[in-house]
Amino acid sequence: MKGKIAIVTGASRGIGRAAAIRLGADGFSVVVGYGREQAKAEQAVSAIKEQGGKAFALAADVGSESDVRRLFEHAEKEFGRIDVVVNCAGIMPLSPIAQGDVDAFDRTMATNLRGTFLVFSEAARRLADGGRIIAFSTSAIAKSFPTYGAYVASKAGVESLVHVLANELRGRNITVNAIAPGPVETDMFLTGKTPEQIAQLAKLAPLERIGRTDDIAGLVSFLAGPDGGWINSQVLRANGGYA
């Protein structure tokens, strides 16, 4: 994939970081988008450069229209084009619906759903023909766990946007897909859970383990690479059989 350019949001940690480093190893020049953790984003850039790749980090709140526009503009200025966009930025505050935490609901929608919409909008206008757009949903949609209301609602919206955008980009040979991981050993997933809860969740999948970030990064690599060109308007549930 030498000469190809990828933007990865939420790339300072977790799945986004693993995806950015994997795409760098595949030969992509990578724009490492991040929210607040500059030091971790720069570490991801260093990891890509140590593999012989090209990368730079740029702060961008995906819920901000101006930030998302700036992210894409800087990518075009630095690398000349954009071929792949991976929108991995997301948050997961958990709260029972009955608690009525409107602030947490609004923050979740602003990052997960509005953020996807804004990234999709810029990608649709700027991607080279033959490009790839990859969003992130969640396998938790199928489980309807208590306290996950805002999170799964936002991700259900993401899945709908994937199907609509795929149809809107008809004729340009651009694929639009989502990955819906099950439990993955990221800070976002592990925070607030006891070892007992984590062990219980690991048993839900027939493969009986928590996913690794590299499991998901490999799927990003597939969708972004030449072998993923016939996969379009799909939600790939990468979860070890969890749902």
Reported as a single tens digit per residue, the pLDDT across 53-86 is 999 999 999 999 999 999 999 999 999 999 999 9
For residue 1, name the pLDDT band (cuts at 50, 70, 90): low
Residue 217 near residue 17 (C-beta atoms within 8 A) = no
Give the pTM: 0.95
Q: Active-site residue among 34, 148, 151, 242?
A: 151
Q: Which residue has the higher pLDDT, 123 or 199?
A: 123
Average pLDDT estimate for 90-108: 97
**Domain contains 198:** no
Q: Please check the confidence at residue 2 and state whether its pLDDT lies above 80.
A: no
Q: Please check the confidence at residue 11 and state whether its pLDDT lies above 70.
A: yes
Looking up residue 32, the CATH number of its domain turns out to be 3.40.50.720
**Domain contains 135:** yes
Tell me which residue range forms the domain holding 134: 5-184+213-236
**Domain contains 156:** yes
**Domain contains 190:** no
Q: Work out how many domains the chain is built from and give that number.
A: 1
Active site residue 242: no
**Domain contains 126:** yes
| Mean pLDDT score across all residues of the chain | 96
**Domain contains 199:** no
